[in-house]
Each structure stands twice: as C-alpha cells, then as structure tokens.
C-alpha cells in the first residue's frame, strides 16, 4: 500500500475545500446575478406595460376628441352609445384596450382608461386620463384665407376694435378715434399669394415660409404707433413667415327644424321672424328679423334684402347654397350677435357694406369694394379688397367657436 504523506493529504484537502468554497461563491454570485437580471426584466416589462396603458388611454382621448369635433350635433353612433349619462366606447388595440366616455353636453370632457396585460398575465395594468374641452375658435384674427389675400386697392385698411371695452369702442361699435392694432391677417399653410398693395394692416401678417408678402409704395404693416406715423413698408417683427395654420370646413348644425314664419315686430311686417331656437329653410330671401337667440340653417342660396338683429337677440346662420348675399344688415347688437357659417358647398359671399358680424366660409370668395366698411371677422378661401374699403376687426370674436372642432383646455391623469 502506498501511503500519502500527511502534509500532502492536508494540501489536497485544502485545495478541495477551496474549490468547493469557490464553487459556492460562484454559484451564489450567479444566483444573485440571475435574480437581478430577472428583477430588471420585470421592472422593464412593468415600465413598458405602464407606458403602454397610458398610450392606450391617450388613444381613447384622441378618438373621443375626433368624435366630438366631427359629430357634435349627435354623439350617438360610430360605436359610441349612451351609458350612465355619457357616451362610451371600448376598443381593442393589439393585446390591450381602452374604454372612453364623453359627457353628453358641451363643453365636452373625455375620460379614457387604457388597459395592458400585467407582467404576470393574470391581470391588466390601467391608467386613466381626463381632458376638458372648449369650442375651437373660429376667428383667430381679423382675416384668414385658405388661398390668396389681395388688398391692392387705392387705400384699403384693416384695423381693430373691441366691442367689450369702452376704451376701444363706442357703445360696442367701431369708432375710428379708438382703433387699434390687433387686426392680424393670416394666410393658411396652403396659401399662395399675399399682396398688400397700398393697403394698411394695423396688426401682424402671417404667412408660410414659401410665401412672400408684397407691398406697394404706400402700403404698411405694423403697430398703431407705426401706422399713425405714416410709415410705409413692414415694421420689423410684424410679418411672421413661419405660420402653420389650417382652416377646417363647417358641418351642418342639424338635419331637421321648422321654417320661420312671417310676423309683425315693432309695427313692421317681416317675411321671416326668428324668435329663438332652431330653424331650417330652403332659401333665405326678402326681409328677416331676429328677436331671440336663434340658429338658422339654409339649405339653398341666400339673397336677403334686409336682415335685422334686435339689441337683445343673436343668430347663427349656416348656408349650404352656392351663394349668399345680404343687401342691408341692421345689427343693433355687437358683432358677436351675428355669425355666418358657409358649408363647403358655399363658394360665394357678398355682405354689402353694412355687415357687423363674424363670417366663416372657408370655401367662398370674398370681395369688398368702393368705400364700404365691414366690422367683425372673416375666414374665406380668397379675400380681395379694392377702392377705399375698410375692415374693422372686433376682438370679441376671438372667443367664438363654430359648431365643429374642439380644443383641449386641460389634461389630467386620474
């Protein structure tokens, strides 16, 4: 028998114990490392799940906002149904889904909850978002055009006033002694021409980067002080050429309503009396008086000989006909009480020289000539001013919305 010396046996035993100890340390380190990796994966997946549920919630918000804008006259339909006083919809997106709801009355709020599978797969991670809305302003300045702006008359002028303030108006009407420089003019992103000619703009001019603002020898754009000094040309900083503006079309306010009836108001006989509420008719012609808060939808052309708005009344007129003309307008209220909206089929408008109100007709051509003066705000496909015509922008119209699009006023996660 071969005997191993005691000292060698001890060394071998020490080596064995060392290897075992090292193996245990390595195994422990690997176990910890694998645990950290698994924990990191779970945290990453949890974070991704948390993010995905928010994305789904925001998808529901976007769909709700689009539905409010496109179907404000009737929220029922397109998958939205009334439930517990709100219009609700559920949609699946991949392995997750959202449930969204819209308040039944304006100003609308939209609440959406997004659900995405949890890392365990046994439940869903959810996040909820709520937004409040307001009508998208129809008028963001004195004038806005989708195509061309041509003010090259003898001496045209666009200025501003504010019917809400006695400092910038007299009894809510334009006063030349109080005019101001808030009359911004906007050429939308697809516009091609902005020719000021010898006209004056008491405000800013906005165009896209591919459009050049041209002026004549006596034209000017700028502040009140700049214009009052008789300076010509564009004041530094008052032409902004990086504007990115779109102008949405108008939709009909409703599909059915009663036509207005004739009547006598203040001893005067009128062919149509709008006492308040909703009205619908094939054509608006002859004489019409507004005595309450009314909405009128004209499915054909308008050729009004006289339109009168009493001091305690207001009207929104929607026109689907190709043309609309108003010979005489007697607005005994302010510009916010008379609003005209042209549908996409409305391609020509003529508001005469006595109009005081808002005009939103993005597919129509607008012209004003001679010594005519119009007060309010304007959105049209093309805008053309000639002669010594003037346009006075009422800043109060900047808070007026059409019957369509909405904008977000607040965003909160619940």
Q: Give the 3-state secondary structure of the chain.
A: CCCCCHHHHHHHHHHHHHHHHHHHHHHHHHHHHHHHHHHHHHHHHHHHHHHHHHHHHHHHHHHHHHHHHHCCCCCCECCEEEECCEEEEEEEECCEEEEEEEECCCCCEEEEEEEEECCCCCCEEEEEEEEEEEEEECCCCCEEEEEEEECCCCCCEEEEECCCCCCCCECCECCHHHCECCCCEEECCCCCEEEEECCEEECCEECCCCCCEEECCCCEEECHHHHHCCCCEECCCCEECCCCCCCCCCCCCCCCCECCEEEEECCEEEEEEECCEEEEECCEEEEEEECCEEEEEECCCEEEEEEEECCCCEEEEEECCCEEEEEEEEECCCHHHEEEEECCCCCEEECCCCCEEEEEEEEEEEEECCCCEEEEEEEEEEEEECCCCEEEEEHHHHHCEEEEEEEEEEEEEC
| Whole-number percent of the chain with pLDDT over 70 | 86
Q: Write the pLDDT tens digit of every residue in 161-189.
A: 999 999 999 999 999 999 999 999 999 88
Residue 32, C-beta contacts closer than 8 angstroms, at least 6 positions apart: none
137, 225, 306, 374 from 394: Cα distances, Å:
14, 20, 22, 10
159, pLDDT greater than 90: yes
Token digits of residue 109:
């709020």
Look-up of token digits 């001091």: 311
24, pLDDT greater than 80: no
> CB of 126 within 8 A of CB of 367?
no
> CB of 183 within 8 A of CB of 393?
yes
> CB of 367 within 8 A of CB of 145?
no
Look-up of token digits 């808030």: 182
Instruction: Choose between 191 and 311: higher pLDDT.
Output: 311
Taking Cα atoms as reference points, which of 65, 180, 199 lies closest to residue 134? Answer: 65
How confident is residue 93, by pLDDT bands cut at 50, 70 and 90? confident
Q: Write the pLDDT tens digit of every residue in 216-262.
A: 888 999 999 999 998 889 999 999 988 887 788 888 989 999 999 99
How confident is residue 208, by pLDDT bands cut at 50, 70 and 90? confident
Whole-angstrom Cα distance, residue 333 to residue 171? 9
- Tell how strand 268-274 and strand 261-265 pair up: antiparallel
Whole-angstrom Cα distance, residue 161 to residue 321? 31
Whole-angstrom Cα distance, residue 48 to residue 127? 13
Cβ neighbourhood burial of 361 (10 Å; 0-12, 13-18, 19+): buried
How confident is residue 78, by pLDDT bands cut at 50, 70 and 90? confident
> CB of 297 within 8 A of CB of 275?
no
| Region of poorest pLDDT, from 86-95, 116-125, 175-184, 311-320 | 116-125
> In 10 A of CB 283, how many CB atoms?
14
In this prediction the pTM is 0.72
> CB of 362 within 8 A of CB of 250?
yes
- pLDDT value for 28: 65
45, pLDDT greater than 60: no
- pLDDT value for 201: 95
> In 10 A of CB 40, how many CB atoms?
10
13, 22, 24, 102, 406 from 10: Cα distances, Å:
5, 18, 21, 82, 87
Whole-angstrom Cα distance, residue 45 to residue 194? 54
> In 10 A of CB 412, how many CB atoms?
10
Domain boundaries, the chain: 9-136, 143-405
- 9-23, 54-68, 314-328: which has the highest mean pLDDT? 314-328
> CB of 196 within 8 A of CB of 213?
yes
| Region of poorest pLDDT, from 44-58, 228-242, 248-262, 358-372 | 44-58
Averaged confidence pLDDT in the chain: 87
How confident is residue 322, by pLDDT bands cut at 50, 70 and 90? very high
């Amino acid at each position: 028998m071969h005997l191993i010396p005691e000292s060698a046996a001890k060394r071998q035993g020490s080596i064995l114990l060392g290897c075992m100890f090292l193996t245990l340390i390595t195994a422990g380190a690997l176990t910890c490392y694998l645990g950290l990796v698994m924990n990191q994966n779970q945290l990453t997946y949890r974070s991704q799940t948390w993010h995905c549920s928010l994305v789904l919630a925001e998808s529901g918000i976007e769909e709700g906002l689009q539905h409010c804008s496109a179907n404000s006259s009737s929220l029922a339909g397109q998958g939205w149904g009334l439930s517990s006083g709100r219009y609700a919809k559920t949609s699946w997106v991949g392995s997750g889904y959202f449930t969204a709801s819209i308040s039944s009355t304006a100003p609308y709020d939209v609440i959406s909850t997004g659900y995405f599978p949890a890392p365990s797969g046994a439940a869903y991670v959810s996040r909820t978002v709520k937004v409040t809305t307001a009508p998208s302003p129809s008028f963001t300045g004195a004038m806005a055009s989708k195509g061309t702006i041509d003010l090259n008359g003898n001496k045209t002028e666009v200025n501003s006033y504010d019917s809400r303030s006695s400092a910038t108006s007299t009894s809510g009407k334009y006063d030349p002694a109080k005019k101001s420089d808030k009359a911004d003019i906007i050429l939308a992103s697809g516009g091609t021409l902005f020719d000021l000619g010898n006209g004056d703009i008491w405000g800013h001019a906005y165009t896209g980067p591919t459009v050049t603002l041209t002026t004549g020898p006596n034209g000017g754009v700028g502040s009140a002080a700049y214009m009052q000094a008789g300076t010509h040309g564009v004041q530094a900083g008052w032409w902004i050429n990086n504007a990115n503006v779109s102008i949405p079309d108008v939709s009909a306010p409703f599909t059915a309503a009663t036509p207005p009836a004739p009547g006598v108001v203040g001893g005067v006989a009128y062919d149509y009396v709008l006492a308040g509420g909703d009205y619908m008719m094939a054509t608006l012609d002859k004489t019409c008086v507004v005595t309450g808060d009314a909405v009128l939808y004209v499915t054909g052309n308008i050729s009004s000989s006289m339109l009168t708005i009493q001091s305690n009344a207001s009207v929104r007129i929607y026109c689907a006909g190709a043309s609309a003309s108003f010979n005489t307008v007697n607005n005994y209220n302010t510009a916010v009480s008379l609003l005209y909206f042209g549908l996409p089929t409305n391609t020509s408008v003529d508001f005469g020289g006595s109009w005081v109100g808002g005009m939103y007709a993005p597919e129509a051509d607008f012209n004003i000539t001679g010594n005519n003066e119009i007060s309010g705000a304007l959105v049209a496909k093309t805008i053309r001013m000639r002669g010594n015509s003037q346009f006075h922008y009422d800043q109060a119209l900047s808070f007026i919305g059409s019957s369509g699009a909405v904008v977000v006023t607040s965003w909160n996660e619940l």
